Amino acid sequence: MRVKPRVLMVTGAYYPELSGGGLQARALVRALRDEADFRVLTTSTDASLPRYADEDGVPIRRIYVDTGRRVSRLHASTALVSAFLDAAPHVDIVNLHGFSRKATPLVALSRLLRKKFALTLQTGVHDEPPAARALGTRAFWAYTHADLYFSVSPGLSQAYVNAGLDRGRLRQVCNAVDVDRFRPASPAEKRALRVKLGLPDVPLVLFVGFFSRDKRPDLLYRAWSRSASASASALVFVGATEKANLEVDPEVAGGIRAAVAASGTADRVVFAGVTREVDDYVRAADVFVLPSIREGLSISLLEAMSTALPVVATRITGSTDALIVPDTSGLLVEPDDVEGFARAIDALLTDGDTARRLGAAARQTILDRYSIQRTAAAWLAGYRELASA
């Protein structure tokens, strides 16, 4: 009889807070809950969320941290170690989603307590060896002493290999989405969702993500406002605009709001904020845009493609170019090319046949390669490998 792997998922944020690592961890927990026993240990910037919770029978422990206060960060570090020690008797494997300084005590404690440690390489640049090395000797020691590495994109895998690290410990397992939740919407469903969400009933261009410099929502606003279709469409921003999260730069949202006010487009630009209904916004939209200059394998992009939206994304080597075949399953634009994004947005809003063709191909790409129902088996194989070692 096969023994279930007992896994502690450690994330920087977990549902209902939104982050790539947290979303992937939750998708895995829900997909594999009959095959493995999970616990979740996460930091949180939302003081209103309970410190102890249970979702689908999975215990969740949250450590609140005010990222703007050093005392709070130090307290969170101590609380994280304490919570780890509480969870340790109940787990055999620790899976940290995304590299950060918290890896150092987690790897050290995992070795001391004879727990297997897996590191998920989640975000381009930040989860690559040079960034870990830049954090110092101890951080790089932690980075290089995982028992197994899950890489969510070819680009992250290549960066790992280029650093001369052990290929035998690397597993390429891409991010994935629930294709039943993120499914195409009929015209009637789109209209109903727009009424429910209070969105204008015009063609909608959608952005989902943190308001950070790297995500480039300000570039998207400039591109959309220059497109020939701007006057007959609306732009919807979904994501955190406040500084609670380290990735968020409030000046980005502030600059967009000022530009909106100056241009008189306030009735056609929506700031939806953070929501638990991301799927509703994606299914209500007509075009999805990812203007980022840094990604691992964007979950928001996968969600949009799963919903059969035509997508426009920045060409990022080993990330978006591994996911999108240009002019077949989406459109790729060079980084920071405002005019290129404007032309792509206009093309998808004015050419319905092309938009439908790209959307259908995008949906098929997800069904074939990025459905959580398919990829979860590869994660489970990694956990079983660790459990039996």
- Condensed to tens digits (0 to 9), the pLDDT of residues 114-140 reads 999 999 998 888 899 999 999 999 999
pLDDT digits (tens, 9 = 90+) for 30-77: 889 889 999 999 988 888 889 999 987 899 999 998 877 888 888 988
pLDDT for position 9: 94
Instruction: For residue 234, count other CB atoms closer than 10 A to its CB.
Output: 22
| Cβ–Cβ under 8 Å, residues 229 and 268 | no
pLDDT digits (tens, 9 = 90+) for 144-203: 999 999 998 888 999 999 999 999 999 998 888 889 999 999 999 999 999 999 999 999
Domain topology for 6-176+372-388: Rossmann fold (3.40.50)
Residue 25 binned pLDDT confidence (cut-offs 50, 70, 90): confident
Stretch(es) of the chain classified as CATH 3.40.50.2000: 6-176+372-388, 187-370
Q: Is the pLDDT of residue 291 over 90?
A: yes
Return the CATH architecture of domain 187-370. Answer: 3-Layer(aba) Sandwich (3.40)
pLDDT for position 246: 61
Work out the average pLDDT over 227-239.
91
Q: What percent of the chain has pLDDT over 90?
A: 62
For residue 93, list its beta bridge partners.
7, 116
Model pTM score: 0.82
* pLDDT mean across residues, the chain: 91
Q: What are phi and psi of 82, to 5 degrees?
A: -60, -45
